[in-house]
């Protein structure tokens, strides 16, 4: 029993509730004043240390980093100057030249990032892992090992990601095929038109591998304007044709803020009809049309992309701070808009990873992903006045629970998990 907590509160003096947890799920939520007189069962629970005093703290749903690159971060390592040339190809090649010079192995560095993400409130991660002619499966294998070692504290998915393209580099299709056979959960893609310069073949390979292995797809789409619109149309067509509703994600989706409003609305309708989800990393330029996507019930999740890596010196693994960035880059000030950013960071990401029901309808209810009765007891406790203040302040002292079990506190994983 978690007692005296404020549930997703907008006011510091909102009444407290008690949350009963059974078998790792929320069994009941009742006003604290309605607990009634103590019972023998209450005494028994207290004696077994099963009653947690929430102390009036704010209860928030568990967060997720659903667009991570655990194989390339440099958090906790010696800081190094940024050396890429500012082009997409330049970023990719700069990473390729330097990734082996890190101070930890891929597995150990991924574990370092996982610890930071979980301690910040993260209970789920979807990580892209680079697969190309240089690293082959080495980075995929390192991340796979790190995530497996942390399976008791988070849900995870791996995307077999062709960062340097599929068509322009020989042997990548076969490597992706192998990764999917060896545990990758989704097949990735990257700018089929503007980077691989053979969009039909690129997407044919992505979706043929998804069909062959019964997996989903998550495609980086930095393409803007008409190029991005064309790629979205093709991805939506293939998603519908193969019956992959709920199993395809478009990451970044810059076409949704680089086209005229009528075209953006048309593209959002295509995405919604196909059952495609989106992820954003709260970039410094351009925002997804969050309200429009919400109107069409498109699942949207938040990710951190790379953290202090060979692409950028930014990022620290803190999901509350990334939620702040999402609100800030949108220019939001009203509580309801900022709370919607937390919903993207929590329920939205959970929906992206879980997909859809068999009939293709989205999973959005609190009882499935939030803080409703029946949901898994994934949450964090913070000493904040309101949801907005929690996002603005990102307090360091957080208690993070997964399935009702305390897994992190005060910025550290518990139980010796690393």
| Three-class secondary structure assignment of 280-337 | ECCCCCCCCCHHHHHHCCCCEEECCECCCCCCCCCCCCCHHHHHHHHHHHHCCCCHHH
Predicted TM-score (pTM) of the model is 0.93
Is residue 332 scored above 70 in pLDDT? yes
Task: Look at residue 35 in the predicted model and tell me its pLDDT.
Answer: 56
How far is it, in rounded angstroms, from Cα 224 to Cα 131?
25
User: Which tens digits make up the pLDDT trace of 337-390?
Assistant: 999 999 999 999 999 999 865 555 555 667 778 899 999 999 999 999 999 999
User: Which tens digits make up the pLDDT trace of 269-294?
Assistant: 999 999 999 999 999 989 999 999 99
Domains 2-61+364-411 and 63-354 share a fold: no
Query: What is the average pLDDT value for the chain, to the nearest integer?
Result: 92
Residue 302 pairs in a beta bridge with 280
CA 158 from centroid of its chain's CA atoms: 11
Average pLDDT over residues 12-16: 87
Stretch (H or E) spanning 4: strand 2-7
Q: What is the DSSP letter of 100?
A: G
User: Which tens digits make up the pLDDT trace of 162-219?
Assistant: 999 999 999 999 999 999 999 999 999 999 999 999 999 999 999 999 999 999 999 9
Say which residue the tokens 């990401």 belong to: 349
Task: Look at residue 416 in the predicted model and tell me its pLDDT.
Answer: 45
Average pLDDT over residues 245-252: 96
Q: 158 with 187: CB under 8 angstroms?
A: no
Task: Look at residue 40 in the predicted model and tell me its pLDDT.
Answer: 52
Three-state secondary-structure class, residue 278: strand
CATH architecture of 63-354: Alpha-Beta Barrel (3.20)
Band of residue 158 on the pLDDT scale cut at 50, 70, 90: very high
Is residue 114 scored above 90 in pLDDT? yes
278 contacts: CB under 8 Å, gap ≥ 6: 249, 250, 251, 253, 256, 271, 288, 293, 298, 299, 300, 301, 352
Task: Look at residue 369 in the predicted model and tell me its pLDDT.
Answer: 82
Average pLDDT over residues 291-302: 96
Q: 40 with 53: CB under 8 angstroms?
A: no
The values of phi and psi at residue 58, to 5°, are -85, 135
How far is it, in rounded angstroms, from Cα 295 to Cα 306?
29
Would you kindly state where each structural domain of the chain is located, as residue ranges? Answer: 2-61+364-411, 63-354
Average pLDDT over residues 236-256: 97
How far is it, in rounded angstroms, from Cα 277 to Cα 207?
16
Task: Look at residue 362 in the predicted model and tell me its pLDDT.
Answer: 56
Percent above pLDDT 90 for the chain: 88
Q: Which CATH number fits domain 2-61+364-411: 3.40.50.11540, 2.30.40.10, 3.60.15.10, 1.20.1090.10?
A: 2.30.40.10
Q: Is the dihedral of CA 184, 186, 191, 196 positive or negative?
A: positive
User: Which tens digits make up the pLDDT trace of 49-106?
Assistant: 689 999 999 999 999 999 999 999 999 999 999 999 999 999 999 999 999 999 999 9
Task: Look at residue 417 in the predicted model and tell me its pLDDT.
Answer: 41
The values of phi and psi at residue 40, to 5°, are -60, -35
Structure tokens of 133? 């002619």
Stretch (H or E) spanning 193: none
Structure tokens of 168? 């322009």
Task: Look at residue 276 in the predicted model and tell me its pLDDT.
Answer: 97
């Amino acid at each position: 029993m978690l007692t005296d907590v404020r549930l997703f509160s907008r006011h510091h003096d909102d009444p407290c509730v008690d949350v009963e947890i059974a078998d790792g799920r929320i069994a009941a939520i009742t006003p604290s004043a309605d607990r009634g007189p103590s019972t023998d069962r209450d005494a028994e629970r207290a004696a077994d240390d099963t009653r947690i005093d929430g102390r009036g703290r704010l209860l928030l749903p568990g967060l997720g980093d659903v667009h991570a690159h655990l194989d390339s971060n440099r958090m906790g390592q010696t800081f190094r100057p940024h050396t890429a040339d500012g082009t997409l190809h330049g970023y990719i090649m700069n990473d390729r030249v330097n990734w082996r010079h890190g101070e930890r192995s891929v597995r150990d560095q991924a574990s370092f990032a996982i610890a930071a993400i979980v301690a910040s409130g993260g209970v789920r991660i979807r990580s892209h892992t680079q697969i190309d002619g240089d690293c082959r499966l080495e980075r995929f294998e390192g991340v796979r090992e790190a995530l497996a070692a942390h399976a008791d504290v988070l849900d995870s998915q791996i995307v077999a990601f062709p960062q340097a393209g599929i068509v322009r580099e020989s042997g990548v299709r076969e490597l992706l095929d192998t990764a999917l056979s060896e545990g990758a959960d989704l097949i990735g893609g990257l700018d089929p038109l503007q980077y691989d310069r053979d969009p039909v073949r690129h997407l044919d390979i992505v979706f043929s591998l998804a069909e062959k292995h019964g997996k989903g797809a998550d495609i980086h789409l930095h393409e803007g304007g008409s190029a991005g619109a064309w790629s979205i149309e093709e991805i939506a067509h293939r998603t519908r044709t193969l019956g992959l509703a709920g199993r395809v994600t478009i990451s970044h989706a810059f076409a949704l803020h680089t086209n005229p409003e009528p075209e953006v609305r048309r593209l959002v309708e295509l995405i919604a009809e196909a059952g495609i989800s989106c992820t954003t990393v709260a970039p410094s330029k351009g925002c997804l049309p969050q309200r429009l996507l919400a109107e069409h019930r498109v699942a949207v999740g938040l990710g951190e992309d790379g953290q202090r890596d060979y692409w950028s010196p930014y990022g620290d693994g803190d999901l509350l701070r990334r939620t702040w960035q999402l609100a800030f880059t949108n220019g939001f000030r009203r509580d309801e808009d900022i709370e919607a950013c937390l919903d993207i960071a929590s329920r939205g990401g959970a929906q992206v990873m879980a997909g859809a029901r068999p009939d293709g309808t989205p999973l959005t209810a609190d009882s499935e992903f939030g803080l409703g009765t029946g949901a898994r007891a994934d949450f964090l406790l913070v000493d904040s006045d309101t949801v907005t203040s929690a996002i603005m302040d990102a307090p360091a002292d957080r208690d993070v629970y997964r399935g009702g079990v305390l897994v992190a506190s005060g910025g550290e994983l518990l139980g010796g998990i690393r």
